[in-house]
Each structure stands twice: as structure tokens, then as C-alpha cells.
Amino acid sequence: MTQGVSDVSTSSLERILAALQDGQLRAPLSRSLLVAFGVKGQLDALVRSLEGHSKAASVSILESVLAERRKLTRPAPELVWTGPEGTSAAARDTAVVLRDLFEGARRRVVLGGYSFLNAESVLAPLHKVMVDHAVETHFFINVEQPDYRQPSEEAYGQAAFEAFLAASWPFGAPYPDLYCDRRALRPGRGSEYTSLHAKCVSVDGERAFVSSANFTTRAQERNIEAGVLLHDATFARQLERQWMSLIEGGFVLRRTR
């Protein structure tokens, strides 16, 4: 059914879809209705695919075609790399990609990270967009589990957050919202040991970066690290929701100071 409209322009399909949804066009569609609406190109294909269908069916057909086209036009995943490269390599540099992601953020950054040692140069572009564009920022960070039960797990976690800011966020306000796994606030021995080992970023629900590289100068500039940059809103939103669902489920502690 959708093959019949494969040669119809995207703009025409979007215009017909919008007209059906807001009532400018009424289903079932016909050649005369489409002509009256101003459609000229590929009328035969449109009539074959849409004529006689209900509004819901016509909308479903058009949305399916447009969704497939968006998949085809979506930029391919990009390999991101830190380390030496041969002459045939074609990867993007980790530090450059991360800086571009942070500098391009305008609404929200959701980040999961294990290590942030010497992270000032890595995180400075993010702090700037937080100042300039009020970007909402959420960091899910690793907290080292204590060897012994603490008088207060909450206090232990809050102290870990302040230590993180002192070591890795020298910029002052605004601060990212900080979260840690509540399991990390209890003593960790053997099978009970846990760590937040992910290294990934979702930006504006539109782009996502997943890497072996920590948010450290060493990982960005000197190690051998591999990652992938995805210009894929579906995946970026999925990654963001995965992290934010930890808050909704009560699985993480949030910095309160």
C-alpha cells in the first residue's frame, strides 16, 4: 500500500497528513478532493493508495511512509575514538564530539558517568550553556561504596555529592542535578558490590553519545577509547527516559543542598 506513494514528495505527504488531521481534508479521499486541495503531482499514486480509506487508515498510511523516510534520511552512526589512528581511519575525536554536544545543548543534558578526574576542561562547555541558555542538566554519578555501614546513608550520599562538586565542578552555580545509586550507599562486599559504570550522554532528546571513555582528560585525550554518536531522537529519548526512570522509581538519591 505504501509503495504507491514512494514517488510522492515528502512535502506533499506532510501537507495532506496535516490537512486530514486538522479537518481541512475529509476522508475518504478522492481524486476530485485532492485536486481541489491543490495536489497536482503523482495523483494516480495518491488515489491508488488513499482512495476509499477512512481518516484513521489514511493517517496511518501517511505516517508510516513519512516515518520510513525519516529513517532513511537519518544521519548514520558515527564512530568516535580516542588514541592513535592509522592512515585509513575515519573516526571523530572523542574530546571534539563531547565538546560539540555540550556546546549545542539548548534544553536538557542527561549524563551517566563513572569517573570525572581532572574534568574541568571537559565540563566547562556544558557549564557555559547552562549559564547562557539555562540548560537543565542531570548527572548520574558513581559513588564509592563504604566498607562499613554508615550512621546515615543519606548523609553519606550527600557528602559524596559535595566531594564530587569540589573535585570536578570548579565553576560554581549553576550546578547539575546530581544522583547516585542508592545501593552504593550501603556496604559493598563481594556480590553486594555495585558501581555506576556507564559513560553516556543524551542531549535535548535528539542526540546520544555512548562510549568506553570516562569524562576525564585522560580518557578524552590519551587512552584508547571507542564510542558511537547517534543523531537519533528515538534512541536519545529512550536513553534519557531510562536514566530519569531511576528517579521516578526511587532507585537513586538526589543532591538536596
Place of cell 535528539: 206
Please write the tens of the pLDDT for every residue from 7-55: 677 777 888 888 899 888 889 888 888 888 877 667 777 888 888 899 9
Under 8 Å between Cβ of 58 and 64: no
Under 8 Å between Cβ of 236 and 203: yes
Under 8 Å between Cβ of 101 and 209: yes
Q: What is the pTM of this model?
A: 0.72
Amino acid at 211: S
Position 137 pLDDT exceeds 60: yes
- Beta-strand relationship, 136-141 and 108-113: parallel
Please write the tens of the pLDDT for every residue from 62-102: 888 888 877 766 677 899 999 987 766 668 899 999 999 99
